[in-house]
Amino acid sequence: MAVVSSFMMNVCSDPLWPSSRAGARLTVDLDAIAFNYRYLQTLVAGASCAAVVKADAYGLGIERVAPVLERSGAKEFFVAHVDEGIRLRSVVSAKVRITVLHGPRPDAAAECVQYGLRPVLNSLDQIAVWRSQSVRAGKPLEAVLQVDSGMSRFGLSDGDLDVLHEDEMLMDGLKVSLAMSHLACADAPEHPANGAQRQQMLKMSARLPSAPLSLSASSGIFLGPDYHLDVVRPGAALYGIAPNQTGPNPLSAVVRLQAHVLQIREILPGEGVGYGMTYRPDRPRKIATVAVGYADGFSRHGSGQGCAWFEDISLPILGRVSMDSLIVDISDVPEGRLKADMMVDLIGPRRSVDDVAEAAGTIGYEVLTSLGHRFCREYVGNAETSQKGD
């Protein structure tokens, strides 16, 4: 069973939940993020453990998450875009190294230098852009070289490496401080692509200037020491997403999503529920309309799938998820125990982000990064508790 922080385990016994102008509350446990980072550090004792905080720290707020990770020991951070790196630079110390995965776009290369951002060079064109920037700066500039070890997404090909070997001037002005690649099937530990990509990455990196190596992100860490190399780059694992489906999730849950009940009603057999009336009960049911919908990142693909929870009672989701609401079956809740304006758990102690993803036919990454900004957000743990914007 996944490790769950203490605030996740507490079920509020007071029927009068704190009032909010928002329809739902998203609670982010900063202590759980710190726990997950330190746990991953112990797994990769021979390697450096970076932290990936792209997409606003997977939707949880980079300004609140990144300082916690730095205090927990993270000295290297990865983001996707230059503007994310600039935003991150303002909330971490000057000694932190920030790497931009998508590399230096021509009109943003100067800002990489200005804000001390290290780009990942994925193509010969990006190498040329960064080399030109080093000429303007009048000094060698630090960079990461990525090789395509088989995923066909980012990175230099074998042909690109041939071009670099034919003209060594193409690398003038570059200080290569890391060579990296990315695993396509790391969440499937037995997949043969994992070993093949590792071998291809080692083969290709041997043709590059000598530098530390990085192959594994979150799931790759759990493939074992052979995949850790010099630097690992966990992202989703920091935020409690299961690294694979082969066993219990060893990571601590980070988020809890609780939504207000807006209305309670009783329906008779055959009465339609929600858009399209796709659900019609075969016996009398008691239902509740809850203030979360697909505009809040709770996918419409989860219509009629999964459940919410009230205390220890499962509340099946009925019919289609609407933009601002969804409907759950509360027939099993004892009379008078759940009332309008009380809250139910959509993500929480008994239903993980990965459970929500499975019901919607997607992955936990998408669920987490899609969670909306209409929630009342509460950050707990790490010696601080604060709220922003109802």
Q: Which residues are catalytic?
A: 54, 275
Under 8 Å between Cβ of 374 and 295: yes
- What residues contact 105, with CB distance under 8 A and at least 6 apart? 82, 129
List Cα–Cα distances, 1 to 30, 252, 387, in angstroms. 20, 10, 30
Give CA–CA dist 375/388, Å, rounded: 9
Give CA–CA dist 270/321, Å, rounded: 19
**DSSP class of 69:** H
Under 8 Å between Cβ of 333 and 15: no
Indicate the residue type of 316: P
Indicate the residue type of 25: R
CB atoms within 10 A of CB 121: 24
Give CA–CA dist 10/13, Å, rounded: 9
Identify the sign of the CA torsion 335, 341, 344, 349.
Answer: negative
Pick the closest to residue 55 from 370, 382, 314, 307 (CA basis). 370
Under 8 Å between Cβ of 5 and 381: yes
